[in-house]
């Protein structure tokens, strides 16, 4: 394998896991906003949220279903499986932790920027529990210094 093919391969693998987490995060966000929790989430809803074309969504959903992360009913849409829900929750928790870190420790105010930054790095961080702990610690220190914590 040439160095270039290797790089390309590892990058594809990485971007696959990043984007499936991105899909799960979006599916969970749509699900949380639904009034009827029995409703399936359609390709179109996902495509609109992600700002991409429905056929690319369909292609990706097939992969997620194969990984056992979603239950997919043709013509109805998708639902997260317990495994998918668990991973989606971990991504969203990390997303919130990062946004909090950006606000409290880095004092960033731009909401859109914080959201984009969190989405860009949350995927790498969910496999680094020590880093999550470190983020929590530094948030705690700053809040304590500001008198926000007992």
Q: What is the contact surface with Zn ion in residues (CB under 5 A)?
A: 95, 119
Non-local (6+) Cβ contacts of 29 within 8 A are: 49, 92
Least distance in Å: CB of 58 to Zn ion?
22
- Contact criterion met (CB below 8 Å) for 80 and 27: yes
Nearer to Zn ion, 90 or 95 (CB): 95
Nearer to Zn ion, 79 or 95 (CB): 95
Nearer to Zn ion, 95 or 114 (CB): 95
Give the integer Cα–Cα distance in Å for 114 and 108.
7
Reference 25, options 110, 91, 122, 114; nearest CA is: 91
Least distance in Å: CB of 68 to Zn ion?
22
Least distance in Å: CB of 104 to Zn ion?
18
């Amino acid at each position: 394998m040439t160095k270039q093919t290797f790089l390309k391969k590892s990058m594809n693998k990485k971007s696959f896991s990043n984007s499936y987490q991105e899909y799960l995060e979006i599916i969970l966000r749509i699900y949380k906003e639904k009034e009827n929790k029995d409703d399936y989430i359609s390709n179109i809803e996902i495509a609109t949220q992600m700002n991409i074309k429905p056929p690319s969504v369909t292609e990706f959903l097939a992969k997620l279903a194969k990984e056992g992360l979603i239950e997919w009913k043709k013509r109805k849409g998708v639902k997260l499986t317990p495994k998918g829900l668990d991973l989606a929750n971990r991504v969203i928790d990390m997303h919130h932790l990062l946004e909090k870190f950006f606000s409290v420790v880095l004092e960033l105010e731009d909401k859109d920027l914080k959201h984009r930054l969190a989405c860009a790095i949350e995927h790498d961080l969910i496999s680094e529990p020590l880093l999550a702990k470190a983020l929590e610690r530094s948030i705690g220190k700053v809040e304590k210094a500001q008198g926000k914590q007992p």
